[in-house]
Structure 1
Amino acid sequence: MRLVPIAFAALLSLAACAGNSQTPPAVDVAIADDETVTAALFEAIRDQPPLLQAYVRRLPKGADLHNHLSGTVYAENYLGQAARRGMCFDRARNSLVEPKPACDAARGRPPVAGADGALRAVMIDALSMRNFVPGDAAASGRDQFFATFPRFGSASEDWGPMLAEAVRRAADNGVLHMELMISPDRGRSRAVGRGLASAWTGDLAAFEAAVAPQLDPLLPAIRADLDRAEAEQRRILACDTPRAEPGCAVTVRYIAQVVRLFPPEQVFAQTAMAFRMAAADPRIVALNFVGAEDDGVALRDYRLHMRMIGHLRQRYPDVAVALHAGELVAGMVPPEDLRFHIREAIEVAGARRIGHGVSIMHEDDAIGLLELMARRDVLVEINPSSNAVILGVAGADHPLPIYRRFGVPVAISTDDEGVARSEITQEYIRAIRDFDLDYDDLKTISRDSLTYSFLPGASLWVGEDARTYVAACEGADPAAPPPAACAAFLAGSAKAAAQWRLEQAFDRFEDGVHDDVSRHPHLLQPAAGAAAR
């Protein structure tokens, strides 16, 4: 890293005023440090989409904390899996289905394998948001988005290839760590709850005692499922060979999904199973409730669901909770349903992270809630494309700037990149455009994504500003091997080790940008006619 200091405040705007013929002042690349040059280049190209695309793809992005494995797979890859399994496409339901009865194009069930271009296009559009135009379709963006998941059918049950796709794309986009939402028990616990429906009285402790004997024996099979999926992922990526793909270096942890759209006894059984899995297997680091928040069952039972989690957290206090909450807008639900979801997720269920959080300013005492979130360091997982497509919320209507103004940490994530036809680079670009983020903002968001990950261990950082290393690593240079004390600290903390990897990635990124600008100083010139910022 070049250590020649230069005050960042000395940078003048690199964007010319509209109609101003004067050449804007430029950074002296010969004396500026890597971070300053990298920030200057960002300001110069932020209004030049092709250059911004290349820049942001290279940007280290820490962790993707809000990502559903089934939704991360692109429709084309689901079609490949379906074709290999001999599946059919039910044209009436726009869904992949098993060949029982056999595929028959004449009866509206053509085989996926060998589908022509027109039929293949129909399939891809049905399994994703591709070509969806709000207002021009019978379904809303919200309806189309959630409808895609059952359409995947059993094509989404083979986790090995799905994991391989997820980490390949993550590595290609500068992501070091993922926390993927999956259903590790594949519905086994829901079946337990269904079988004990007659025992449900609303007494949480009594029902927990009833389901526990049937849940614990499921753990070995769940662990074996994950073992097989990860072994297949590693085989696909050649992880244990000299030809290992970059995705092999992406660390993956899992968040156990609880589908909240079922009767209470089934939701409770899933929740109890999720806590047990997270307590028993270090790969499963948390739980989350999934399913459309505006669904009738989700609304009816929301407070009950939060009490379920709060009850079980007393037995498993070390299991983290992240919750979808506030994925709502005015008009989607009655006003009273906008006023308490985020607060109860935090105060009753003990959520350490909130997914979406779009309706924050509709909450009772919204300012007090923001202050509480900042005080407790409750991070909000922001999913720009998902919020735009499902809720119609983007730009000035989005609360991300409000969260940051109140000191609430945020991370940018993908939600369902395959369904949304996106990737985390595009999510960062949308956030840059919508929220006028600068390079320092991007670096903070990337760092926070690892700081608030559910990786175990102490943080690399002292305090909240991610600027000061812990004492053991004080003065360490990411461009060099860490001193012995720092190396020992990193070896004892998975979180700090990931954070150190991110600092190394930023060092390489900024050094590379400095080299690029040194060779091509014209990159620091703003786009012709760019307006002053």
Structure 2
Amino acid sequence: MTMGGRKLHMLAIGLGLAAGLAGGQALAAPAATPEARTAARFDSLVHDRAQLRLFLRAMPKGGDLHNHLWGAPYAEDFLAMAADDGLCVTVPRPALAEGPCDMAGKVPAKGLAQRDPDLYARTIDALSMRNFTPGGDGAAASGHDQFFSTFDRFAAAAARNNIGPMLAATREMAAGDHVLYVESSANPEALHAFGLVGQDLGWTDDFAAALAVLQPRIPAMVAQARAEMDAAEAQADRRQGCAKPAKAGPCQVAVRYQAFVQRAQPPGFVFAQMALAFALVEADPRFVGVNIVNPEDNPTALADYSLHMRMFQFLAARHPTVKLALHAGELAPGLTPPRDLSFHIREAVEIAGARRIGHGVDIASEAGASALLARMARDHVAVEINLTSNDVILGVKGSDHPLALYRQAGVPVVLSTDDEGVSRIDMTGEYLRAATEQGLRYGDLKAMARDSLEYSFLPGASLRGSVCAGREAPSPACASFLAGSPKAQVQWRLEQDFAAFERGVGGER
């Protein structure tokens, strides 16, 4: 080998050694975090829906902030309640009804699945969105109408002191979905009864005068409502064996309630119900907020929308600690005239003072939408996103859905189920839709799960920025902080669940 060749050879050896060292340094660099490996695993599954559902089923999901106690149980649950209560199923168009069941047009709900499987199946379809075909077999003419008509069809069971069984069904669903917290719209019978009291008193548009007449009756109705919830929770606990030490599963799901107002009722009814709802939230820590329900496009709801927002404003001034999560913007072009799409979300935020908006689907039709979005982002007014519900009821999905618009504007968003039993869904399915239809990735979903607790109405300081933030085990100061904050306690559980989930998915030993 010539001198020049020897030099070239040594140079090649040196370059190879340097490359080997560089490669060794790369291999010795810190391994990807469990979160990064989990995100990579998610990305590898995003086009395999079955595998992705399996992944998402196990993923911790924080809270479900838009949940209706009447709409969460499946039709099978209501049929079981009907059987226990001796109720009937009407024929030929199925619905649940009071007895006696030995007359024409009514058969016993008890034993129906074994006695007449075909009628049992058709009843499930009638009480939910399963197999919905517009106008078929007594079904409504649209998804919107079918969805809302189901509540009347199973009302005989839901209204029959069955809050306990409905709560048990809700907790069971949440536990199976790895949901730690549910904030459910739930009214004891006392709230409906008090609405009727207000309706009978008449209405003059004088908020102060109406409240003065109702005020002496409110304490007794608050006590009645609290007693109803005591009995319902005890019943749910018995059904699920929650008295057993360290009982896991449904018994570990934290549930709080939003007292709600029925907007399709006359003004006197709405105001009385609203006044009692505010008082109940102040008196009972299980109730953490007030909401408003019924179809937003109902003629009475549309005509009185601004009146209702002013009612909220009036009562909120007298109960400043009570939080509002209001259904607003559950509308779409063509469902109502354009004028009704132009102000509902804005008035819920600016007049009523809503801290969260349920649905918010018509945001792009709001007058001054850009300014409203900026305000919601600045004031941290979160939006509860219900992808399946918006598809089923309004026909809004995919790129037509405003989820991306909210996220681009910096508005906090959380995924929720709305009425999972009526829609025949679960929270896992909502996460799956967010991934496959909205393009969200693991980091996005994890952030939304965290936000579902951050923007919950659970009392107490947030884990974010606290002495516990970033810790794997609580210090004495952290333990003291957690003991004083129900919100931080659930957030801490979520962080522990995420750590365990990511270690498992990432294969960390």
TM-score (norm 1): 0.87
1:150 to 149, 152, 160: 152
- SS of structure 2 residue aligned to 1:205: helix
Which residue of structure 2 lines up, in the alignment, with residue 395 of structure 1?
398
Which residue of structure 1 lines up, in the alignment, with residue 127 of structure 2?
127
- SS of structure 2 residue aligned to 1:202: coil
Return the offset for 1:93: 5.3
Q: Post-superposition, which runs of at least 4 consecutive aligned residues in structure 1 deviate over 4 A?
A: 27-30, 134-138
1:315-394 alignment runs, 5 A limit: 315-394=318-397
Distance (Å, rounded) in 2 between the aligned partners of 1:41 and 1:28: 22
TM-score (norm 2): 0.91
Higher relative contact order at CA 8 Å, sep ≥6: structure 1 or structure 2?
1
- SS of structure 2 residue aligned to 1:435: coil
1:515-530 alignment runs, 5 A limit: 515=507
- Given that 1:180 and 1:255 are in contact with CA atoms closer than 8 Å, whether structure 2 keeps it comes out as yes
Distance (Å, rounded) in 2 between the aligned partners of 1:135 and 1:168: 33
CA displacement, residues 268-327 of structure 1 (integer Å, 9 cap, x when unaligned): 000001000001101001111100000000000000000000000011000000100000
- Given that 2:191 and 2:273 are in contact with CA atoms closer than 8 Å, whether structure 1 keeps it comes out as no
Which residue of structure 2 lines up, in the alignment, with residue 195 of structure 1?
200
Structure 1 residues 66, 475: CA separation in 2 closer, same or farther (over 3 Å shift)? closer
- Given that 2:42 and 2:442 are in contact with CA atoms closer than 8 Å, whether structure 1 keeps it comes out as yes
CA displacement, residues 99-125 of structure 1 (integer Å, 9 cap, x when unaligned): 0xx2136x2211112221100011100
Which residue of structure 2 lines up, in the alignment, with residue 500 of structure 1?
492
Return the offset for 1:498: 1.1
1:283 to 286, 289, 306: 286
- SS of structure 2 residue aligned to 1:380: strand
- Given that 2:134 and 2:140 are in contact with CA atoms closer than 8 Å, whether structure 1 keeps it comes out as no
Distance (Å, rounded) in 1 between the aligned partners of 2:93 and 2:290: 31
Return the offset for 1:515: 1.8
Q: Which amino acid aligns with 1:248?
A: C
1:173 to 160, 173, 177: 177
Return the offset for 1:233: 1.1
Structure 1 residues 134, 439: CA separation in 2 closer, same or farther (over 3 Å shift)? farther
Distance (Å, rounded) in 2 between the aligned partners of 1:474 and 1:366: 35
Distance (Å, rounded) in 1 between the aligned partners of 2:92 and 2:320: 47
Which residue of structure 2 lines up, in the alignment, with residue 417 of structure 1?
420
Q: Which stretch shifts more, 40-49 or 178-187?
A: 178-187
Which residue of structure 2 lines up, in the alignment, with residue 229 of structure 1?
232
- SS of structure 1 residue aligned to 2:241: coil
Which residue of structure 2 lines up, in the alignment, with residue 16 of structure 1?
none
Distance (Å, rounded) in 2 between the aligned partners of 1:473 and 1:255: 29
Return the offset for 1:399: 0.2
Distance (Å, rounded) in 2 between the aligned partners of 1:178 and 1:388: 22
- Given that 2:414 and 2:449 are in contact with CA atoms closer than 8 Å, whether structure 1 keeps it comes out as yes
1:139 to 138, 141, 147: 141
Q: Which amino acid aligns with 1:372?
A: R
Which structure 2 segments of 5+ residues have no match?
1-26
Distance (Å, rounded) in 2 between the aligned partners of 1:103 and 1:317: 50
Q: Which amino acid aligns with 1:497?
A: Q
Return the offset for 1:49: 1.1
Structure 1 residues 210, 294: CA separation in 2 closer, same or farther (over 3 Å shift)? same
Mapped pair 1:292 → 2:302: no
- Given that 1:196 and 1:211 are in contact with CA atoms closer than 8 Å, whether structure 2 keeps it comes out as no
- Given that 1:192 and 1:215 are in contact with CA atoms closer than 8 Å, whether structure 2 keeps it comes out as no
Structure 1 residues 263, 242: CA separation in 2 closer, same or farther (over 3 Å shift)? same
Larger Rg: 2
1:503-514 alignment runs, 5 A limit: 503-514=495-506
